[in-house]
Amino acid sequence: MGRVRVGINGYGTIGKRVAWAVMKQPDMELVGVVKTRPSWEALSATARGIRLYVPEGKEELFENAGIKVAGTLQDLLQSIDVVVDATPAGVGATYAGRYREAGIKAVFQGGEKESVAGVSFNALYTYETALGKASVRVVSCNTTGILRVLYAFRRAGNVRSVRVTIVRRGADLKEVKKGPIEGLLLKPAKPPSHHADDVRSVAGHDLDIITYSIVAPTTLAHMHVMFVKFNGSVSREDVIRALEETPRIVLLRADLASSTAEVRELARDLGRCGDIYEVIVWPESLWVRGDEAGIAYMVHQEAIVVPENIDAIRAVTGIVSNGTQSIRLTDKALSIGRWLP
Amino acid sequence: MGRVRVGINGYGTIGKRVAWAVMKQPDMELVGVVKTRPSWEALSATARGIRLYVPEGKEELFENAGIKVAGTLQDLLQSIDVVVDATPAGVGATYAGRYREAGIKAVFQGGEKESVAGVSFNALYTYETALGKASVRVVSCNTTGILRVLYAFRRAGNVRSVRVTIVRRGADLKEVKKGPIEGLLLKPAKPPSHHADDVRSVAGHDLDIITYSIVAPTTLAHMHVMFVKFNGSVSREDVIRALEETPRIVLLRADLASSTAEVRELARDLGRCGDIYEVIVWPESLWVRGDEAGIAYMVHQEAIVVPENIDAIRAVTGIVSNGTQSIRLTDKALSIGRWLP
């Protein structure tokens, strides 16, 4: 099999990052991306040499704005093996029929219901389930963060219950109309937040998990506090080792940086444009006593699902049959791993 | 016994609010407040007709700034029965000797160590312990919030463990040099935060409590998520009833207001200048299953300890021998209670 031909529907926060990541994979070719409005992001795509496809009838709108168009959405769908749907939450469902008709595989995002895609995807849990399926959905950023840390805890012991408090960023940097600018918002007011169901859709429907979610006035990242109860006791060393051995988790000493702001700037300093694909876990925050543990970590909402999308492409197209191998390929291409001493 | 003569050392965030609250109590007289620098807050004190006392030798500094001075700190200490120390954290300890020498009672704040004051104070728990003591310390805002909610949970069942995630406001409105403006900060990185020890200092040293604390860029209020484990199961109805019956807790429907911003503005609309003495608990956030519960609530850091300071004054001076009676007096004078339908 040659390189997988990939198209991205949507070039927003997630879509553009997945596009850039696809361009770095040895076994993938980015055919183009779709944008519905001639925005600064459309301009940024063409400026990077990415072919831009637009909905039928919108060609003139883009050309008038001085943005070069390579073809229509239909043109793109006919020249690819797989589409990554990075349209706004709920919009992906309205495209599902077109993807099916075009006979291509589809990778949706966590904003779509599980019923739209069939399989909820996280590379550590459901790669093999997703193999060759017509479509999957990559669960959202907070859910992905919880899943990775939970994976480590499950390596360390027999997890009985999980209680998470999620402090969510209010908006991404570019979302200039969203808030809050000030205040903390309990959302939803009635627990659990959707993350509990989403985690179960990947990690198993019998998992005992409750999540609360508080929205804070920040754009940089989410922060979680997770309490875990085990059947039987665990040791601090086992948990630390499991965290170290879990892909896409980075342990960062809190005495070096203990805020989302410092960690994002650290990632800028290290040439990542601030994008952090890994869950950042502070080892000092790990509290272990008997059959119980607590931990705090950070999730960069714009970037964390990007490697999961890349793995999802490999899973649905079947070009790599093994999750561990796909993770290794992705992480090498994106320099993911233990980038801190 | 006539009215208790009260002086306040410090007229900052807490000191000024305690001063205003003292002025509303039928059994107390505010003799004056102490300020060490001629700031806008010193001006605001005199503008409200409050006598301003200053450290020895600083009289001219204030008069030159056009601020009228009533006397020195020593003058104040000689004309009062009790001082409320509302100086910055750790500074109160340096004054403790002078209070003792003046032969007056002292009420310290939560920023002082328990050893400075002897008794950690919350009106629901330690009023009787504090009766007639030379000094107490009123535990800080987040601790006070936890204690009130815990009080309700203990009425509803036999509490086994408490796990709290505190999302702290970054700074008060007037703290123009403090941050963060952006980002979330895990502080301390190593759990538990000081709140766990402080809660134990009031609620009993054998309480199993762990607290994590995340600082957020907001000035309006803290928000907590608390998970409680009971010995034996509890019912949702019992917890709601206990919350309703606990003084200084207000249940507010989240469908009316679920953010710190809306609740603070609601308090402004109701003529309180935004000060909220009560813990605001959202009933929708209460999750109960078997022997476990979770809840989210809000703590207004500037105001919540004010009624506790008033009760502490009554306890150390012994003018009211019963905590419930003092709470009733304070709450009536400050219109505390179920101010929402």
Interface test with B, best of A173, A178, A182 (most B CBs within 10 A): A182
Whether residue B82 contacts residue B105, with contact meaning beta carbons closer than 8 Å, is answered with yes
Q: Are A220 and B183 within 8 A, CB to CB?
A: yes
In this complex, do A191 and B287 lie within 8 Å of one another by their Cβ atoms?
A: yes
Q: Could you say which of B186, B220, B285 has the minimum Cβ distance to residue A282?
A: B186
Strands A82-85 and B292-299: unpaired
Separation of alpha carbons A173 and A303, rounded Å: 13
Contacts of B261 in chain A (CB under 8 A): 180, 182-183, 185
Please report residues of B whose CB lies closer than 8 A to that of A258.
185-187, 189
Shortest Cα–Cα distance, A327 to chain B (Å): 29
Q: For an interface test with B, which of A212, A229, A299, A300 has the most B Cβ atoms less than 10 Å from its Cβ?
A: A212
β-strands A120-121, B185-186 pairing? unpaired
Is the separation of the CB atoms in A294 and B212 below 8 Å? yes
How many residues belong to chain A?
341
Contact B228, B294 (CB under 8 A): yes
Largest Cα–Cα distance in chain A?
Answer: 66
Tokens 């709140």 -> residue: B195
How many A×B Cβ pairs under 8 Å?
Answer: 146
Helix A13-23 × helix A40-47 angle, to 10° = 0
In sequence order, the 6+-apart residues with CB closer than 8 A to the CB of A94 are none
Residues of A in contact with B222 (CB under 8 A): 184
CB-CB: which of B187, B214, B220 is closest to A183? B220
Give the residue-averaged pLDDT of A234-248: 95
A183/B225 touch (CB, cutoff 8 Å), yes or no: no
pLDDT at A338: 60
Chain B residues with a Cβ under 8 Å from any Cβ in chain A: 163, 165, 167, 180, 182-187, 189-192, 210, 212, 214-223, 225, 227, 254-255, 258-262, 264, 282, 284-285, 287, 294, 296, 298
Cis previous bond, B180, omega within 30: yes
For every residue of A113-166, DSSP letters joined together read -HHHHSSEE-TTTSHHHHTT-SEEEE--HHHHHHHHHHHHHHHHSEEEEEEEEE
Checking if the pLDDT of A341 tops 60, the result is: no
Chain B: residue nearest A223 by CA?
B184
The answer to whether A184 and B223 are in contact (CB under 8 A) is: yes
Closest of A47, A59, A39, A38 to residue A20, by C-alpha: A47
**Chain A CB contacts of B215 below 8 Å:** 259
Give the pLDDT mean for A121-127.
Answer: 96
Contact A259 B190 (CB under 8 A): no
Q: What is the ipTM of this complex?
A: 0.88
**Token digits of residue A90:** 């709920």
What whole-number distance in Å separates Cα of residue B186 and Cα of residue B146?
Answer: 19
Which residues of chain A does B254 touch, with a Cβ-Cβ cutoff of 8 Å? 186, 189-190
The shortest C-alpha distance from A15 to chain B (Å) reads: 24
Mark yes or no for CB contact A254/B189 under 8 Å.
yes
Helices then strands, each counted (H, E), chain A: 13, 16
pLDDT at A272 over 80: no
Is A228:A211 a contact under the CB 8 Å cutoff? no
With CB atoms and an 8 Å threshold, state whether B167 touches A184. Answer: yes
- Measured CA to CA, the distance from residue A258 to residue A271 in angstroms comes to 20
Residues of A in contact with B301 (CB under 8 A): none
Residue of A216, A262, A285 lying closest to B167 (CB–CB):
A216
B212, B225, B261 member nearest A296 (Cβ): B212
H or E segment to which residue B155 belongs: helix B141-156
Cβ B163–A167 below 8 Å, yes or no? Answer: no
- Beta strand ranges found along B194-273 (DSSP E): 209-216, 222-231, 249-251
Bridge partners, B250 (sequence order): B280
How far is CA B48 from its chain centroid?
22
Dihedral (Cα; A320, A323, A324, A330), 10-degree rounding: 70
- Chain A residues with CB inside 8 Å of B255's CB? 189
* Shortest Cα–Cα distance, B208 to chain A (Å): 11
The backbone region for B41, taken as left when phi is positive above 0, alpha when psi lies in -120 to 50, beta otherwise, is alpha
From the list B275, B218, B266, B340, the residue with the least C-alpha distance to B19 is B275
Residue B257, token pair as written in the block: 């207001």
pLDDT at A227 over 80: yes
pLDDT at A339 over 90: no
CB pair distance less than 8 Å for B220 and A189: no
Contact B189 A221 (CB under 8 A): no
Handedness of CA A87, A89, A90, A93 (dihedral sign): positive
Dihedral of CA B33/B36/B39/B43: which sign?
Answer: positive
For chain A, strand residue ranges (E) read 4-9, 28-34, 52-54, 71-72, 82-85, 105-109, 120-121, 135-138, 158-169, 185-186, 209-216, 222-231, 249-251, 279-281, 287-289, 292-299
Gap from B335 CA to chain A (nearest CA, Å): 25
Ramachandran category for residue A22: left, alpha or beta (phi over 0 → left; psi -120 to 50 → alpha): alpha
Give the least confident one: A80-94, A247-261, B268-282.
B268-282
Q: Is the dihedral of CA B40, B46, B51, B53 positive or negative?
A: positive
A289/chain B closest Cα distance in angstroms: 11
Torsion of CA B252, B255, B260, B261, to 10 degrees: -120
pLDDT of residue A115: 94
Answer whether residue A113 shows pLDDT above 60.
yes
Rounded to an integer, the average pLDDT of A237-265 is: 94
Each of the 341 residues of chain B gets a pLDDT tens digit; together they read 589 999 999 999 999 999 999 999 999 999 999 999 999 999 999 999 999 999 999 999 999 999 999 999 999 999 999 999 999 999 999 999 999 999 999 999 999 999 999 999 999 999 999 999 999 999 999 999 999 999 999 999 999 999 999 999 999 988 988 989 999 999 999 999 999 999 999 999 999 999 999 999 999 999 999 999 999 999 999 999 999 999 999 999 999 999 999 999 998 888 777 899 999 999 999 999 999 999 999 999 999 999 999 999 999 999 999 999 999 999 999 999 866 65
Which of A180, A184, A254 comes nearest B186 by C-beta?
Answer: A254
Q: Which residues of A are catalytic?
A: 141
Backbone angles phi, psi at A145, to 5 degrees: -60, -50
Q: How far is CA B318 from CA A126, B130, B315, in A?
A: 66, 9, 5
Q: What does DSSP assign to residue A172? A: -
Closest listed residue to residue B127, CA positions, set B341, B291, B310, B279: B310
Separation CA B33–CA B19 (nearest Å): 8
CA dist., res. B340 & res. A11, Å (int): 47
Query: Looking at beta carbons, which residues of chain A come within 8 Å of B189?
Result: 254-255, 258, 282, 284-285, 296
Q: Of the candidates A328, A211, A234, A221, which has an alpha carbon nearest to the alpha carbon of residue A280?
A: A221
pLDDT digits (tens, 9 = 90+) for A28-68: 999 999 999 999 999 999 999 999 999 999 999 999 999 99
